[in-house]
Amino acid sequence: MNEIKVIVSGHGGFASGIQAALSLLIKVPENWQFIDFTTGMSDQELHQEFVQALGVAPFEETVFFTDLAGGTPYNVAATLAADAACGM
């Protein structure tokens, strides 16, 4: 059984902050990735970061955690999920 991939993303240092806090408490699993949406970063750049994080098996089970519903990290993740559901 494959492990579910987890990608945490959000504005500013949201993702790296979550990673730092979790690192104090647990050993963060290798299948978890943390991607900050930083000042000056475009939605296309974030999309590329997500695609890179998804790696060679983009259609395996992945859960995205984002900071704001309707924010750029959420919207980019939702678009990728919809594309995967359609087999694109």
Q: What percent of the chain has pLDDT over 70?
A: 92
Looking at residue 87, its pLDDT comes to: 66
Helix (H, G, I), strand (E, B) or coil at 50: helix
**Which pTM does this prediction carry?**
0.90
Q: What is the mean pLDDT of residues 25-44?
A: 96
Residue 49: Cβ within 10 Å count: 19
Task: For residue 6, give Cα distances in angstroms to 25, 29, 39, 40, 73.
Answer: 17, 9, 23, 25, 14
pLDDT-derived band at 28 (thresholds 50, 70, 90) equals very high
Poorest-confidence range of 19-23, 60-64, 77-81?
60-64
CA 73 centroid distance within chain = 8
